[in-house]
Structure 1
């Protein structure tokens, strides 16, 4: 079945989509037309909300192509991608924030810009062409083809992105900041998140709030809606039994249904983050709060996936064996000894995130 899906994808990428683009490319490029596209959400992804707002306030024409390929069915997804290709042929700019097959399926016009915002900061676990889990061996074509600009959060992310996207050394990957991090510099946004948190989680009042945000594992189609126990989750469950703490689980949206608040909203409201391999910790660095890296399956995950950095040197308490989390949480909340390490990581991987990234990206588009 997997082989059949791969063959269908390559048929679309190399024949159907290029034909639709070629058929429509006779029409001139409309420099004012900006297309926002994503195939993992049925509405505007969080990663695009700030740039969408700025573009809507400008004189450009914003067109949205959002759909969740895993919920609408293959035929509906195919039709939406075909429609995108027709509009792509005349667009001045296309903005994406994740893998989006159609954008790489043709030789685009030179006058058309493609901006990849990506959906994570820094460079943690291997992805793209550095990971067989992301792009299987034998896949023909480059899914990152046609990018004009890839925005990254800091200087330390440039080299990993170059190898992961097979873009080579050039001027495409730029550390001009990640748009969605601007909200962590927005006092109004943070205030609204805290108000929402008090409403949604009234039982958390008077307790230390802990967010458990593990990485996504495996194939999104296979995992969606399943309720599998994740590595280390039993110890998180034990932590939830302690009346001193209020623990919130925020698993990847492809694993479980979305909760009352998004992970990004919760970051503004919690006292401590626990994760294994999620790049969400890079965002959390901007808030300068303690982190526990809890990865009981570290040896296996490291051998299968790998990292761009030394896991043992991460800016927080690193736990790579099954262990009771309570004493580690108590110790870290009472005495945070990792502040200087967080500052070093932030200066390397998040130095371009200053609250003005969206404006810089918009200036490139406009």
Structure 2
């Protein structure tokens, strides 16, 4: 089913209002989720909405959080999200990073006691809009085994680097540090499809293409899949995200990160509070004039786009380009939702007395 963005935006805001969010928080949370769907990252958009509501039912999400700074220097801060929606907490933290960067050249904020924050790219783009370079990362529920292990110890732990350009769109590197994002498994599960070899291992550590393997003791693999193909690099990137997001802020890290799904309880005796994020912003003009940087970014983009091709029919893709193309189409034509997501959303409509889709 394809549904217009304005209709989905109104519906999503109404759901967040129904669980007690303020109007401003409901609008912001809906904006973060819709940005994911618009950019073609279906795994992190409205497919997650029912999950947030289920966590709220379990009292693991606070719809009226007192988000505040608990530690601060001129260029850094730690924010406690009071178990609020990560969709609200992370933009709050990024705004602090931007304000610090405006004064001092850069700003860095670590966050504890939060929840799933949507796509990292949303937060990185906030800095780009101010002619800054943006950084956004978060740890997540333990689904990924370190290299040489079959124990789930890390999340998919995405990281984003966002760079402004001039006449071209920003360069947005937004990626999971696992071989695949968990949301892609969820899409495969809903669609009844297998996943590529190298994404998951079973509980014995053998490759499997079954998207349900995590439920029977399997685990996702780090970026690179195995040691021969560089999984130690994916493990290292994921560890970096976990440490900056959680060890630095006082959030839960490694196997203690609370699961996004409501039917699983958090690990006992966690060392910290909630999920952690790390946000950063750097002023380009702290290094050189913005116009000069943007001109060189445009040249960088154009040169990479003109690189010789293995297949003439397949151009080189600049990071962020597919998402930009998806957004242009979906704003005009609407957002496609799979039947399982539509079913979840219509169940929310019935529950909260809203107009269904």
TM-score computed with the length of structure 1 as normaliser:
0.23
Determine which structure has more spread, i.e. the larger CA radius of gyration. Answer: 1
Greater relative contact order (CA < 8 Å, ≥ 6 in sequence): 2
